[in-house]
Amino acid sequence: MSTARLAQSLFGFHNYQNIEMDSTVEIYNKIAEKYAKSFKENSEEKKIILDFINGLKKNAKVLDVGCGNSDYFELFNSFGISYTGIDISTGMIKEAQKTHPKGAFFVQDMNSLKLDQVSFDGIFCFFSLIHLPEKNASVILKKFYEAIVSGGKLLLGLQEGDNELFIESPFLPGKKMYLNLYNKNKIENLLNKCGFTIDTFFSCEPSTPAA
């Protein structure tokens, strides 16, 4: 049975329909370089990720869903993890490829992921499901569950709350993005319905502001 480790930040979170998805991707494409440069390593996040890595087998295969500019690629790589990163934003993937030329990065919408022919020892999804409505997140989490090998791990990073809202991008003033906030009960119920057993909950400050 796959287990899930939850890292909930103390900030806001997103969710949207297709029209909002289009504008969000556009915003991420425009801010990709600034966003990548804004990253500062967060010791709390790193500790959570190290705990996730230490729970995986040697030479594990990990899929990073919504990898952005792949802030933690080097950390995964240093442990010999076979890492693949995907993101819907071409701008973010270009930044990841520029910073980590040896990495495997692909432009891919998580909504259209086909994972039935592949398996992973772990899936790392840090602050990505926040960009989806709950009904989409439920479908994707079920795909995650089916793609993770028995005894594998899901590390899911969310932003804490219990409502939906629009926030202005700190990197692109005037542009607003829709956020979907998750509290512990909401995500716990969603994960349980998808078959996951929750191993641990964490709480920490995010390393970068919401786009």
Q: What whole-number distance in Å separates Cα of residue 58 and Cα of residue 121?
A: 10
pLDDT the model gives residue 11: 30
- Predicted pLDDT of residue 172: 83
pTM for the whole thing?
A: 0.85
Contacts of 5 (CB under 8 A, 6+ apart): 48, 51, 52, 153, 154, 155, 156, 198, 199, 200, 201, 202
Q: Are 36 and 95 in contact (CB under 8 A)?
A: yes
**How far apart are the C-alpha atoms of 85 and 68, rounded to whole Å?**
8
In-domain check, residue 66: yes
| CATH assignment at residue 46 | 3.40.50.150
> Is residue 210 one of the residues assigned to a domain?
no
Domain assignment present for 211: no
H, E, C per residue of 98-157 = HHCCCCEEEECCHHHCCCCCCCEEEEEEECCHHHCCHHHHHHHHHHHHHHEEEEEEEEEE
For residue range 22-70, what is the model confidence (pLDDT) as tens digits?
578 888 889 898 888 887 777 888 999 999 999 999 999 999 999 999 9
In a domain, 61, yes or no: yes
pLDDT tens for the chain, 211 residues long, are 566 655 443 332 333 344 445 578 888 889 898 888 887 777 888 999 999 999 999 999 999 999 999 999 999 999 999 999 999 999 999 999 999 999 999 999 999 988 878 899 999 999 888 888 888 999 999 999 999 999 999 999 998 888 888 778 878 888 888 778 899 999 999 999 999 999 998 887 655 554 5
- Answer whether residue 209 is part of any domain: no
User: Which residue range(s) make up the domain with 124?
Assistant: 3-204
Residue 143: the pLDDT is 94
- CB-based contacts of 132: which residues, under 8 Å, 6+ apart? 14, 15, 16, 110, 111, 140, 180
Domains identified in the chain, total number:
1
Q: Residues for the chain: how many in total?
A: 211
pLDDT at 116: 76
Residue 35 lies in a domain: yes
Considering the domain boundaries, does residue 8 fall inside one?
yes
